[in-house]
Amino acid sequence: DIQMTQSPSSLSASVGDRVTITCRASHSIASYLNWYQQKPGKAPKLLIYAASSLQSGVPSRFSGSGSGTDFTLTISSLLPEDFATYYCQQSYSNPRTFGQGTKVEIK
Amino acid sequence: QLQLQESGPGLVKPSETLSLTCTVSGASISSYTYYWDWIRQPPGKGLEWIGGIYYSGSTYDNPSLKSRVTISVDTSKNQFSLRLTSVTAADTAVYYCVTDYWSGHPYFDYWGQGTLVTVSS
């Protein structure tokens, strides 16, 4: 199985901050990397697919980059509705695997 | 708009079988571009992919579940289902049915609201 490791596990940030979350795969996954946002009590929501493609309807303050084993999710200017947990997920091979999540909290 | 809705018992006894159904609306389950998957999330923990099925009946699942999983599809009802046998407390989780858009770079784009299944006597 391909292991996905996110860092940090949690972070505190203020509205307006630029936030970067990293995700590392245990093997090269080319650009088969997706990012999801999950709010408490809700299902995850797709933000980014294929490492850098913005899902329809997702604000442009979200962006993704990377390929191979190292990836990043960036929120350019944090808004109150962005406080949530973020997961990366590889779709390079089965079983599909997720990172452990990064919780973005209000400072 | 494609929508997914999970249904099934919220409480299952240890060693018994967990059975859930996902009803798809707004799209045909016979779509060429989707697999239909199950993902679960234990309370307070991360996401685990369980497996998926194509409308033709072709399936794939997570070996970590040690062949306890059966996923089936009923195209006449636009539904797909999950059976997980020999459950333990470790199977307590919110179970989501999701669409697996598999063309090009696969991703999970539509999610059901999730249903909590508790394994307890």
| Shortest alpha-carbon distance between residue A73 and chain B (Å) | 16
Q: Is A67 on the interface with B (CB under 8 A)?
A: no
- Which residues are registered as beta bridge partners of A71? A23, A66
Q: How confident is the model at residue A2 (pLDDT cuts 50, 70, 90)?
A: very high
Residue-wise burial string across A29-68, b where 16 or more C-beta atoms lie within 10 A, e elsewhere: bebbbbbbbbeeeebbbbbbbbbbeebeebeeebbbebee
- For the stretch A29-78, pLDDT in tens is 999 999 999 999 999 999 999 999 999 999 999 999 999 999 999 999 99
Are A89 and B111 an interchain contact pair (Cβ–Cβ within 8 Å)?
no
Among chain B residues, the shortest Cα distance to A45 is held by B109
Q: What angle do CA B32, B95, B4 make, to 5 degrees?
A: 40
Sheet architecture: strand order including A19-25: A4-7, A19-25, A70-75, A62-67
Residues of A in contact with B105 (CB under 8 A): 31-32, 34, 49-50, 53, 91
Closest CA in chain B for residue A95: B62
**In the structure, how many helices (H) and strands (E) does chain B have?**
0, 11
pLDDT in tens, B85-96: 999 999 999 999
